[in-house]
Amino acid sequence: MARDELMTVSQVLAELGGVSRRTFYRWRELGKGPSALRLPNGELRVWRSDFAAWLRGREEVSA
């Protein structure tokens, strides 16, 4: 099993393939985005395992 890692917002957006930064932050405002942690400098990070779980949840919603 791969080691869990923290992803930047840019990495999350790249994996989502075309979702804008604005859309990502709007999803977070609405409570529909992946869980993230805020670093002391204000930047967000997302655990890869949380991102994968969030994506799996989106598959179930669309099915």
Residues 6+ apart with CB under 8 A from 50: 34, 35, 36
- pTM exceeding 0.85: no
pLDDT digits (tens, 9 = 90+) for 36-59: 999 999 999 999 999 999 999 988
Closest CA to 38 of 4, 9, 5: 9
Average pLDDT over residues 15-23: 95
Q: What is the mean pLDDT of the chain?
A: 91
Q: Binning pLDDT at 50, 70 and 90, where does residue 61 land?
A: low
Q: What is the mean pLDDT of residues 5-30?
A: 96
CB 63 within 8 A of CB 18: no
Which amino acid, residue 47? W
24 contacts 13 by C-beta, under 8 angstroms? yes
